[in-house]
């Protein structure tokens, strides 16, 4: 696990093959609790190509000097992302 927020990532490899590719990362909050938003793509194992971009927001808690995942919310499609943006714009 990561010791700093900058080291946190959603990129994931299996047998030297990237199966989750991180495209972008935004740190929303830092401190003992960190909130990070990632844009990523999953590898389609049937076609060996990456799928459409997705977004995940993750919360981490620093325990014994390392950030441990606590919770996550995945935005699974562009349509859902746009709906969330529209609602937030209306609220604020």
Q: Are 73 and 56 in contact (CB under 8 A)?
A: yes
Rounded CA separation 74/5 (Å): 19
Rounded CA separation 75/90 (Å): 19
- Per-residue pLDDT of the chain in tens (92 residues, 90 and over written 9): 799 999 999 999 999 999 999 999 999 999 999 999 999 999 999 999 999 999 999 999 999 999 999 999 999 899 999 999 999 999 99
* DSSP of 11-46: -EEETTEEEEEEEEEEEEE-SSEEEEEEEEEEEETT
Query: Which pLDDT score is estimated for 1?
Result: 75
Q: Can you give the residue range of the structural domain that contains 58? A: 5-91
Query: Which pLDDT score is estimated for 76?
Result: 86
Query: Which pLDDT score is estimated for 6?
Result: 94
Paired residues of 22 in beta bridges: 40
Query: Which pLDDT score is estimated for 80?
Result: 95
Rounded CA separation 71/91 (Å): 24
Structural domains of the chain, count: 1
Q: How far is CA 74 from the centre of its chain?
A: 8
């Amino acid at each position: 696990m990561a010791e700093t927020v900058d080291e946190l990532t959603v990129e994931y490899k299996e047998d030297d093959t990237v199966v989750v590719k991180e495209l972008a990362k935004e740190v929303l909050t830092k401190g003992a609790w960190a909130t990070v938003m990632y844009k990523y793509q999953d590898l389609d194992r049937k076609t060996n190509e990456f799928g459409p971009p997705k977004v995940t927001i993750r919360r981490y808690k620093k325990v014994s000097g390392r950030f441990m995942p606590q919770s996550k919310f995945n935005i699974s499609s562009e349509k859902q992302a746009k709906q969330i943006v529209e609602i937030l714009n209306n609220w604020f």
